[in-house]
Structure 1
Amino acid sequence: MPPSQQFLAWQDYIAPLLDVHLPENVYPEDGFIARQSAWNLGGMLLIQHSSPAFGYARLPEKVRLSPLDHWHIIFLQAGHSWTEVDGRVVQNEPGLVEIRSLGRPFRGRKLETRSVSLIAPVDLFSDHGGLPAASNNVVLGGHRVRLLADYVASVEANLRFFTQDDLASVKERLREMVFEAVTPLVERNGDGDHISDMGLMARARRFITGNIASPDLTAEALCKQLAISRTRLYELFETSGGVANYIRRRRLLAAHAMLADPSDTRKVAEIGAAIGIDSPANFSRAFTQHFGYSPSNVYKYAQEQKSAHMKVLGERTSGSRRPSKACCGRWGCFEAAPKKDG
């Protein structure tokens, strides 16, 4: 790719997640060599990244139009970054860990950097009541963080050797270590409202996940379950784009995971019905509008991967499935974190 097109290509690639710009007195013609690999660990992504300096922002409009209910946990291996949320700026550097919510607006800049990071759904920590809300836009260090960073480095070094059977234990260990490293270090004093919101959101997410296909999953049902008013419920989900939008998004993400699972034998229309959308046309329209590609595309890809995998199994007496990179360079695919064969 010609140097003059490199930054524009990066800008287009990262656009669903961030708006990015070059530093002052740096121009696209100077070239922009960025490298990024995303590894699916079975519901958690590990991202390897290196790039020249650039500025970034996830503004309220992008949060609303491209919602991601995930934590971004960043370990810098080289370089520095500065991120601002609500007027508070934190600086990240090697030896520390930065935690950022992709469900909240932020902006910042970074020097030439190399990093490894984790992108984990908020719901991944729901068994523990969720990470503290005050975890957003913090940089932490210390013994626990060093242990976590060492384990992440070990996972990174062994990515190509893990089999599919290894992933559940790797993800579980990462989940536990992140929670154990972050929770004791995050300041909670004077943040009672945020802690209250955190507990309510954790309960709301569990209820939504457990009733994802129910036609009775409504704002009224949530109010009753949480014992709060509609006004309080709408305030709770305001940064997630509203209650109905959050439920719709979780249903579509669940459908994406079903479609991408080669072992799921249901047809597209049946999966739509399984998440409470009886009309195939409405399901296809909503899915395509959210992800940018149709449910049939995901279904076809999963079946092709299943056929290829069965062919390999037929040709070899033994084999293993390994963690794979995402099927395409779209952050929409990463959001759903589908399982795929490598």
Structure 2
Amino acid sequence: MVADDPERGARALAQLQVMTADICDVIPHTAAGDFHITTTTIMAGNALLVETAATDLEYDRTPAHIARGGLDHYHITLCVAGEMRFSSGRREITLRPGDIGLLDMAQPNRTKLRAAGGRTHLITIILQRAMLAPRLAHPDSATATLLPSDHPHARLIASHFAALGLPPGPEAGNVEATVEAIAHLVAAAAGGTADILAGVERAERHLYLAMIKRRIADNLQTDALTADELCRHFRISRATLYRLFEADGGLAHYVREQRLNLAFRELIAPSAHDMRLIDLAIGMRFSSDSTFIRAFRRKFGLTPGELRELADKWLRETGAVPAVDTVLHQLARRSTSQPR
């Protein structure tokens, strides 16, 4: 849903009020002509991700709305800018930048957005009740739970909000698993069941690992991937960092493997036809082209030059190079069919 008409604010307001009539009443706290809202909604695995920026307004979700609509979800909301005040019954919280709140949409509530003349910016993960309620010891009294910005879990969860809206990278981890881990930590903060509390460490590990792997994927051609740099950036100890990557053969092994994977993708790209191997090796932070070639051959069963020849052949014969997974599958078949 997008409701955005900055030149004709009254139209944007009317459009939003029509679209949300069965969900809540929208009450602007600006002149109708100054009203401005942008809302983007995307699927993020088994959840819905909604990003909103709005001038001052109020949402009033009454018992009548509850009775009319089938909205029976929890919201996990991150405040990026401005202020959001949420109240439900006697429970009330105020979200400021970096704060995260758990909101139960199955209960009447009021939400007020204030941004001192600007726009309040929120990102919300919407979860079906069936996904979160079983994790809560008291599902009907968990609403208006606040994780302040200085809470370690708030910082960890907030780091994943924007990333959930991006296309998943090959090593970023399963989006559904990331949403599950976020739900796990939020449930623990809101009063989780005994099983949930026992699994907090596992959820933390998943989120930290996915977050660090994203940073690695974004910096494979830089020197920002030393243990010291990653520990400083993520505020974790060296021992914790090494434990996180034990299943991947260690941090150095994981980074090396991802650099080789990136080199593979670059070598089969038509744009890399004239790239010198020494330049690619240095770009991937290998000490020499011979070291790079040996590591590449150990991993993929052929040299970078041989892969480039195959890519050129495919391009000449078909006009395109197959996707990376297809190339790897063909190389695996070729390897098993060759006599030993």
Q: Which structure would you say has the larger RCO, counting Cα contacts within 8 Å and 6 or more residues apart?
A: 1
Q: Of the two, which has the highest radius of gyration?
A: 2
TM-score, reference length from structure 2:
0.49
TM-score by length of 1: 0.49
